[in-house]
A = this chain, B = another copy of it.
Amino acid sequence: MADQDTPRITNGGVVGQVDATKIARYGGVATFALLPRLDEVQTADIAVVGIPFDAGVSYRPGARFGPSHVRESSRLLRPYNPELNISPFASQQVADAGDIATNPFDIEAALESIESSYQKLLQRAKKVIAIGGDHTITLGILRALKAKHGPISVIHFDAHLDTWDSYFGAEFTHGTTFRRASEEGLLDPQGCIHIGIRGPLYAPSNLDDDKALGFQILSAVAIEELGLSAASEQMSKRVGNKPVYLSIDIDVLDPAHAPGTGTPEAGGLTSRELLQLIRVCKNFNVVGGDVVEVAPAYDHAQVTGIAASHCIYEMLSAMAK
């Protein structure tokens, strides 16, 4: 049952954002984009859910505060997306499903509860966009999606490959997500691509391993050289019409555009480039997505949070009918 006091924009049966002409955007509780809570609308086309977990981090922790920070940074989002000529909150029911509770100390237990909570959430929402948390969470999500879609493509925006093997004996960390996912058969080896990769690696073999796991690489340097159009084409060619998951590590952005993250690397994408690449995904069969690794303690003036909230907005637009 919806909170009856809150004036909202509605479109047919779709309940949208708080009506900002009645309640100023800085007022009220910050659900994502001031959308209704899932318990207000019961079911949704797309649920936005937070997964405040960061025990898989190898350097700067703090992404556990990512969901609340991204929500607070999403208050300015308005209903109509002119670039895609879409009203993502009117043509589909989007709702904020709150946060998935996880064990803060035990990574494997956390992954299990992420998987099961995500599956439970899929009973109420056709698709889900997650706000991390660190990149470990994506493994739990991909496990849940496997049950529904089989192996899927992943478009992975990141400075890092995240296909390392283990770290201090831990198999499941924010740096091993896509190796585990590949090993567990969650990925379509013909349809995965990393975008924005840059910075030093451990060894040349990292690249061979990565390729063997089913990934193509479109590096940050390549994007500078190719330009956005050619880069978009390469992405499109890789993904085709396969079911695809969008996973955005906010450190794909240059530290100037995303200081609030845990393992920053110089030489990254601009937010303008990243948003444009997400818009291209409207042509794909997107089955879910996430934005991870926002670490608010290192952010300034919500620069990182705003970039992250815009990424989710473009994902929601790209997924709209």
Instruction: Fill in one digit per residue for A97-118: 1 if any B CB lies within 8 Å of its CB, else 0.
Output: 0110111111101000000000
> Number of copies of this chain in the oligomer?
6
Check if A266 is an interface residue, CB within 8 A of chain B.
yes
Min C-beta distance of A112 to chain B, whole Å: 13
Asked whether, in the complex, the Cβ of B28 is within 8 Å of the Cβ of A99, the reply is yes
Known: A28-B99, A62-B61, A298-B301. A76 touches B265 (CB 8 A): yes
Asked whether, in the complex, the Cβ of B80 is within 8 Å of the Cβ of A206, the reply is yes
Asked whether, in the complex, the Cβ of A58 is within 8 Å of the Cβ of B264, the reply is no
Instruction: Fill in one digit per residue for A251-265: 1 if any B CB lies within 8 Å of its CB, else 0.
Output: 000111101100111
Asked whether, in the complex, the Cβ of A78 is within 8 Å of the Cβ of B271, the reply is no
A interface majority secondary structure: loop
Min C-beta distance of A278 to chain B, whole Å: 10
Instruction: Fill in one digit per residue for A284-321: 1 if any B CB lies within 8 Å of its CB, else 0.
Output: 00000000000001111111001100110100000000
- Looking at A146-154, A183-191, A220-228, A236-244, the stretch in contact with chain B turns out to be A220-228
Min C-beta distance of A184 to chain B, whole Å: 19
Identify A301's interface contact among B5, B50, B64, B259, CB under 8 A.
Answer: B259
Check if A214 is an interface residue, CB within 8 A of chain B.
no
Chain B: which residue is nearest A308 at the CB level? B266
Residues of B contacting A3 with CB < 8 Å? 37, 39
Q: Which residues of A contact B (CB under 8 A)?
A: 1, 3, 5-6, 21-31, 37, 39, 50, 52, 54-56, 58-62, 64-65, 67-68, 71-72, 75-83, 85, 87, 98-99, 101-107, 109, 167-170, 173, 198-204, 206-207, 219-221, 224-225, 228, 254-257, 259-260, 263-268, 270-273, 275-276, 297-303, 306-307, 310-311, 313
